[in-house]
Amino acid sequence: MAAFIPEEKVAEVREKVDIVEVINDYVQLKKQGKHYLGLCPFHGENTPSFSVSPERQLYHCFGCGAGGNAISFLMEHDGLTFVEAIQSLAAKTNVDLPELEDQYPGEREQHQSKKEAHQMAAKFYHHLLMNTEQGKEAYDYLTARGISEEIIEEFQLGYAPERNDMLVQLLEKREYDLEEMEEAGLILRQESTWQRYDRFRGRVMFPIHNQRGQAVAFGGRALGEGKPKYLNSPETPIFLKHETLYAFPKARQAIRKQDEAVLFEGYMDVIAAWKAGVKNGVAGLGTAFSKRQAEQIRKATDKAVIAYDGDNAGRAAAWKTGDTLVNQGVDVRVALFPEQMDPDDFIQARGPEAFRKQLAERAVPFMSFKVQELRENKNLQNEGDRLAYIEEVLRETSVISSAVEREFYMKQLAEEFDLSMDALREEERKVQKEDQKEKAARAPSASEAGKRWRSGALPKKQVSMRSAYENAERTLLAFMLQNREIAEEVKERIGGEFNIDAHTALAAYLYAYYDDEHEPDVSRFMEYVEEQELINLVSELAHLDIPTEISDNEMSDYVEQIKIRPKREELLQRQKQLKDAERSRDSEAAQKLGARIMELMMQLKKN
């Protein structure tokens, strides 16, 4: 039986939901006039072009064109079906839905069983840790590190037993396709015997969740001397390491509230920080911090503290992570821990209050961290080291966007080494020219850039100039979205004779929508439209700043602009045909064309 949610329940959800609240779970929104602005979650950008209208309960990105309501946002962003999106919003708005027996046959999410199996495995491992003798060693290990039962429950920590087929047997019993479970990264198969066995054995288990809070992977820490010490799930269709941050769904609300994220290197650091009262912490997953991860952070906040280990590797990683974040427009500070100490060690040695102070008060600006790192292993009494250090600092300051910040660090250099600001600025210009030459050498040729533009690798600029007839069509459609009577008048005077195909299609949907006795409701109308391109167009038109009423004269002007467009095109075509007829000395054809041209010009002059 296919799932069905009564229309009145869908309407109740739509009426109660606040789109700003929904989207604010994913994007940091800031009020600007009547709307809220943020970074688009559907394409990479550093300047906010994503607009959310609380009045109309719609969103629209003026960069990539994405648009819709709260329901379509969850469908697009989280890959949900319509039914799943309604269920998610119903839970948020406390709307009781009837029990659903099944999904629409064609709507079942492609990799749903992989996610369901991970959810089940997480519960299984957690049960073994908390309730069995097999999990006692892992439980004792966690409690010895100061991890309470409350924290274990919060992060759903678990234990994978030494026995090599416990999860395999459970998956078989629940009738999961074992070949699909291999693809999901939960089990392995021995090539010599083709026998299947559990990927994780004898490990404390850390579930890794996607942005919807679903378990999609695991990190496992060996007990005792097991190798490797940490083992992560492989990349799978539902888990990409460079797109995932550990504990991000859990930390997202705290990140927004405090307007700052704290980045750690490992799971235990995040958990220890949570225990110490720092709940806006996330961690990478054993790979270099990526642009996609930085984009996630930037959409939640524009501030971050990097709290990596105090050893050389940790400091080197902090440098690379900071650069990646800064390139996405994030204001970065670095919390410097004593050498050979990670955040977890620091908390255990000095306590939660000292740890919070380290993050809040003693974290240094990213450029200050770089300056300290550049001084390492240099003898500044040596002329060669001193010159190298000055050039390296200038190379870093030359890319700082803030002129005030650049001046600050240059003054520090000038005072420390008794140099003139003019000399430093000259050296900085030299460094900038060298960098520009390097960038130019690496830049793609015009033909390569064209190929990348066509393939979607480079952003396409939005066309801002529109013709009079296109603006007329857009304005009339915007009025039609908010007023049924205007839609009926346009239907009578224009019908389907719009000049742009998308406008013709959208008008047809509006006529049918009102013929079905629906009242103006842009959010509801979007669910009536099937093509995503048209949904995006609706959201764009709904964001146009138009008055609530249109005068008869304005209506007539818009209609005339639309109707004369074909005449203008015909005029251009006839003028070209006339030239061809004159060249070929076809006087009869030229005479007829001339008469038609005069007729068209008179009509256009009258309009």
Dist. CA 311–CA 76, nearest whole Å: 42
Dist. CA 476–CA 422, nearest whole Å: 60
Which DSSP letter does residue 41 get? T
The answer to whether residue 179 scores a pLDDT higher than 70 is: yes
pLDDT of the residue at 578: 66
Which DSSP letter does residue 148 get? -
Pick the CATH number of 112-239 from 2.120.10.30, 3.30.2320.50, 3.90.600.10, 3.90.980.10: 3.90.980.10
Three-state DSSP state, 34: coil
Q: Which fold has domain 7-107?
A: DNA Primase; Chain A (3.90.580)
Question: Which residue, among 330, 333, 323, has the nearest Cα to 296 in the 3D structure?
Answer: 330
- Tokens 């970065």 correspond to what residue? 332
- Tokens 């600007």 correspond to what residue? 32
The answer to whether residue 107 scores a pLDDT higher than 50 is: no
Three-state DSSP state, 68: strand
DSSP states of 316-348 as a string? HHHHHHHHHHHHTT-EEEE-PPPTT--HHHHHH
Residue 218: which H helix or E strand, with range? strand 215-222
Q: What is the pLDDT of residues 182-192, one digit of tens each?
A: 999 999 998 77
Peptide bond into 228 cis (omega under 30): yes
- Tokens 């009426």 correspond to what residue? 15
Which range (3-12, 308-317, 354-363) has the least confidence?
Answer: 3-12
Domain spanning 243-361: CATH 3.40.1360.10: yes
Question: Which residue, among 352, 258, 356, 348, has the nearest Cα to 307 in the 3D structure?
Answer: 356
Dig out the tokens for 11 from the structure. 């309407």
| Contact of 233 with 239, CB cutoff 8 Å | yes
Q: What is the pLDDT of residues 45-86, one digit of tens each?
A: 778 889 999 988 999 998 888 889 999 898 888 877 788 889
Contacting residues for 595 by C-beta, under 8 A, at least 6 apart:
none
pLDDT of the residue at 570: 59
Domain boundaries, the chain: 7-107, 112-239, 243-361, 377-440, 468-550, 558-606
The shares of helix, strand and coil residues in the chain, as percent rounded to the nearest 5, are 55, 10, 35
Which range (415-424, 434-443, 545-554) has the least confidence?
Answer: 434-443
Q: What is the pLDDT of residues 120-164, one digit of tens each?
A: 999 999 999 999 999 999 999 999 988 999 999 999 999 999 988
Model pTM above 0.75 = no
How many Cβ atoms are within 10 Å of 115's Cβ, its own excluded? 18
Assign 105 a pLDDT band (cuts: 50, 70, 90). Answer: very low
Dist. CA 4–CA 597, nearest whole Å: 59
| Contact of 536 with 65, CB cutoff 8 Å | yes
CATH of domain 468-550: 1.10.860.10
Average the pLDDT over 408-425 and give the result. 87
